[in-house]
Amino acid sequence: REGRYERALRLFDELRREGVAPTRVTYNVVLDVYGRMGRSWPRVVALLDEMRAAGVEPDGFTASTVIAAAGRDGLVDEAVAFFEDLKARGHAPCVVTYNALLQVFGKAGNYTEALRVIKEMEDAGCKPDAVTYNELAGSYARAGFYQEAAKCLDTMIGKGLLPNTFTYNTIMTAYGNAGKVDEALALFDRMKKNGFVPYTNTYNLVLGMLGKKSRFAAMLEMLGEMSRSGCTPNRVTWNTLLAVCGKRGMESYVTRVLEGMKSCRVELCRDTYNTLICAYGRCGSRANAFKMYDEMTAAGFAPCLTTYNALLNVLSRQGDWTAARSIVSKMKSEGFKPNDMSYSLLLQCHAKGGNAAGIEAIEKEVYQGTIFPSWVILRTLVIANFKCRRLDGIERAFQEVKARGHKPDLVILNSMLSIYAKNGMYSKAMEMYESIEQSGLSPDLITYNSLMDMYAKSNEPWEAEKILKRLRSSQSQQQQQLKPDVVSYNTVINGFCKEGLIKEAQRVLSEMIADGVAPCVITYHTLVGGYASREMFAEAREVVGYMIQRKLRPMELTYKRVVDSYCRAKRYEEAREFLAVVEETDPKSDQKLLGALAARVESAQFGEMRR
């Protein structure tokens, strides 16, 4: 109980050396020690064999302890095999044993197997208890089914079972995972009204959800309520604050929170180091993240699965898939079995680094069954394939999501809509938009930007502008938060420029500025291209000059579009004069690029003369 596992094992060895025969209770305690230590499955199996050889048969506590030990290390297959072996030996599982197995499936997000276990329980005459439904709710939460998780609360009450704080925490977690923070807060209030006292871990849970949504005023209010209720912030509270700081990219604030912990004499534990690694990783500070890892090991803490996942999280933000694969190899060599988060982060590394072959390799293992196709992994496969523009890969992953009974969320449907739009598959893109509406999800700005992009690419800029106008003028509570951004305006401007409707593009630009959205390099580049394609060279050059004055460096492609338009109009001298003006007015201009563009003009002119 004090975490002094090696001391407990030494005492066990002393007992055996003195000839004291261990009892079932003794064996159960040692099995529990192995489980808490982690990476001890071979020792668990060996002790079970010793126990049976000594004529001591496992009981319900033994079974639940062994299954829990397998679950802690992510050994789902081993847990199931042990459970089936128990039954084959004539052992009738009790509710505690079934609940332990439910927890294993719950951690894996495999709600279908969790439902199968509950049915088996009921068929065997073993009545599910509150813990059973708590574990089922947890399974739904990890699989992304917040509505089903919430129904578990009503089911419990209907069966005369009393929910507890853990029940409410689990369902709030489900809401939080789905981004339904307001629903979680409403349940939190309901919990308090029903007489349940929130503990520190409940407040930590709510703080984490608020932090993910950057609702910092609400966080401070919740911290005040936590203090008034007599709940003392613990390491998890501090870790939550660290994680929120890291999420906002505030490296200096992470360091300040760490210093605050030390000044309050909060002893750093392995969880804190893991959080620090993640926090610095989110800030983009790989050096500090790995520095925390080195400090952690120097302090005597052995890395665990969470540690390795934290390091993978750091590398995923940089796309360093080579280093990430080394971390996974080290993890395996240390006896850890990568979980769905490990593979999800590795997929993110490959996607960020543009390594499609790495994504394909993991796909193969998932679809062959080597890696369990959990909700997390399938969702990440959709996102990773989208980032690498792999149409076949994203379609296969999307079909697997549906075939496995998972409910596609807004991120998945947005990814499908966008990739279909980018590939000119407009009817399928509209199918995805309809799926968003039919599933009860609320389209976000990414949804609408993808739709506008689709219309702009299909030569329907007026349809794209209709969506832009809807976003600008909507008075609904939901869409007050959906203000068009620079991408929205750029998309519509580009659509009008492609159709040669320059005045309309100019009008949208004026509206963009009036709405307080600052044009970017892409905005002006699009306008330059539109002017140049219509041989409105004076206007195009005016925009280029404006960009240079405002230190919005024109892209290489911007200059190329102007020069190529001059050449198509056979106005070669004006093209040369344009390049000379650029060289004179832009002191940071790329001389090599200007030389290449000058050669481009020469080639176009003399090629025309030869013809």
Same fold yes or no, 408-519 and 520-611 = yes
Share in percent of the chain as helix, strand, coil (round to 5): 75, 0, 25
Q: Is the predicted pLDDT of residue 475 greater than 60, yes or no?
A: no
Q: Using an 8 Å Cβ cutoff, are 376 and 404 in contact?
A: no
pLDDT band at 70 (very low <50, low <70, confident <90, very high): confident
pLDDT of residue 138: 85
CB atoms within 10 A of CB 37: 18
Three-state DSSP at 40 gives coil
Question: How far apart are the C-alpha atoms of 256 and 205, rounded to whole Å?
Answer: 22
Average pLDDT of every residue of the chain: 87
pLDDT of residue 608: 56
Which class for 360: exposed (0-12), middle (13-18), buried (19 or more C-beta within 10 A)? middle
Q: Using an 8 Å Cβ cutoff, are 63 and 53 in contact?
A: no
Q: Which two tokens stand for residue 349?
A: 């590394």
Does the domain at 520-611 match CATH 1.20.1050? Answer given as no
Q: Which two tokens stand for residue 525?
A: 């580049």
- 336 contacts: CB under 8 Å, gap ≥ 6: 39, 73, 74, 304, 305, 308
Give mean pLDDT, residues 474-502. 80
Three-state DSSP at 345 gives helix
pLDDT in tens, 414-431: 999 999 998 989 999 999
pLDDT band at 479 (very low <50, low <70, confident <90, very high): very low
Q: Using an 8 Å Cβ cutoff, are 34 and 69 in contact?
A: yes
User: pTM for the complete prediction?
Assistant: 0.63
Q: How many CA atoms lie within 13 A of 315 on its CB side?
A: 24
Q: Using an 8 Å Cβ cutoff, are 589 and 553 in contact?
A: no
Give mean pLDDT, residues 243-269. 71
pLDDT band at 478 (very low <50, low <70, confident <90, very high): very low
Q: Is the predicted pLDDT of residue 186 greater than 80, yes or no?
A: yes
Q: Give 408-519's CATH code, choosing from 3.40.50.2300, 1.10.760.10, 1.25.40.10, 3.10.180.10.
A: 1.25.40.10
Give mean pLDDT, residues 24-43. 84
Q: What whole-number percentage of the chain has pLDDT above 70?
A: 96
pLDDT in tens, 203-223: 999 998 888 887 877 887 887
pLDDT in tens, 553-571: 888 889 899 999 999 999 9
pLDDT of residue 2: 56
Give mean pLDDT, residues 67-72. 85
pLDDT of residue 354: 93
pLDDT band at 264 (very low <50, low <70, confident <90, very high): low
Question: How far apart are the C-alpha atoms of 455 and 468, rounded to whole Å?
Answer: 12
Q: Using an 8 Å Cβ cutoff, are 476 and 508 in contact?
A: no
CA angle 485, 490, 493 (to 5 degrees): 130
pLDDT band at 386 (very low <50, low <70, confident <90, very high): very high
For tokens 């932090």, the residue is 211
Question: How far apart are the C-alpha atoms of 442 and 444, rounded to whole Å?
Answer: 6
Q: Using an 8 Å Cβ cutoff, are 337 and 75 in contact?
A: yes
Q: Which two tokens stand for residue 328?
A: 């996974």
pLDDT of residue 411: 93
Tell me the C-alpha to C-alpha distance, in Å, between residue 562 and each of 201, 457, 536, 581, 602. Answer: 61, 22, 10, 13, 15
Q: Is the predicted pLDDT of residue 385 greater than 50, yes or no?
A: yes
- Say which residue, 229 or 526, is predicted with more confidence: 526
pLDDT in tens, 330-369: 999 988 889 889 999 999 999 999 999 999 999 999 999 8
Instruction: Spell out the domain ranges in the chain.
Output: 303-393, 408-519, 520-611
Question: How far apart are the C-alpha atoms of 49 and 56, rounded to whole Å?
Answer: 10
